[in-house]
Amino acid sequence: MPMTPPDYAWHFTPGSAFAYEDGMTGTLVPVVVGDVTLPTGRVVACDPFVCLGQGEVEPFSVVVEPGRYRAEAAIATLVRPGAPLGPRPHTRVAAARLVIRDTPTASWEMAVDEGQDPAVLGEDEFYGYGVDAGTGCFYDAAADGSFPGTEDEEGAVWAAMEAVGDGPDVFLAEGQDGHTLAGFTSGWGDGCYPTWIGRDTEGRVTCFVTDFLVVPTALVPAA
């Protein structure tokens, strides 16, 4: 049976708390990254520093109405009992969300590309995107070529990331032709991360959520 999604609304509820077996605790707070323009409604999620501009990443098969949609990140502040506090809190991006509709999510489904079938997955498996540069993002499929220089460590995406400073590790990059990209560090770093699509009671898409697996699924309320 494929990975079972928890209730990702919990990640974006201020004050949601969890504890690891080793005693380290975490508290979640949502932050707004900015608006992502979706002129085609075809959502792409990937590592921008590896895939952006390569023309190789397929958008998810579920398409939404074109528009501007709010991107958010669930920031986990981690504390280890007895450890001295540093000048900056230890934070990780636990999840990232592209909000399509501000209605409660009633169900979750795995976000897939054309041709991917969750029914063939094994126990706790999932389709996800690979991260090799510690970063994930959301953008419209039409924006793939709108951020030149990314592969050469130049351009709008790099500038936006470097401007973050001491704030949460999230950024909004503005590319050519009005395209935007919401970026965020990927939890503990490199790996493979699933994206889920939320739907309300009428079957309408509420959001896309990428889980960076900072919070063990067993510690999150069931969907």
Specify the pLDDT at position 160: 94
* pLDDT tens string 137-146: 999 999 999 9
- Domain extent listing, the chain: 10-219
Lowest mean pLDDT among 103-107, 112-116, 202-206, 209-213: 112-116
Specify the pLDDT at position 81: 85
* pLDDT tens string 163-194: 987 777 999 999 999 999 999 999 999 999 99
- For the entire predicted model, the pTM comes to 0.94
Beta-carbon contacts of 174 under 8 Å, excluding residues fewer than 6 positions away, are 156, 160, 180
Percent of the chain whose predicted confidence (pLDDT) is above 70: 100
Report yes or no: 93 and 169 within 8 Å, Cβ to Cβ: yes
Report yes or no: 166 and 81 within 8 Å, Cβ to Cβ: no
Could you give the CA distance from residue 93 to residue 213 in angstroms, rounded to a whole number?
Answer: 9
Say if residue 126's pLDDT is above 90. yes
Specify the pLDDT at position 75: 98
Band the pLDDT of 154: cuts 50, 70, 90: confident
Q: What share of the chain is helix, strand, coil (3-state, %, to 5)?
A: 15, 40, 45
Mean pLDDT of 47-52: 94
Specify the pLDDT at position 165: 77
Specify the pLDDT at position 67: 98
Band the pLDDT of 128: cuts 50, 70, 90: very high
**The token pair that represents 42 in the structure block:** 């075809």
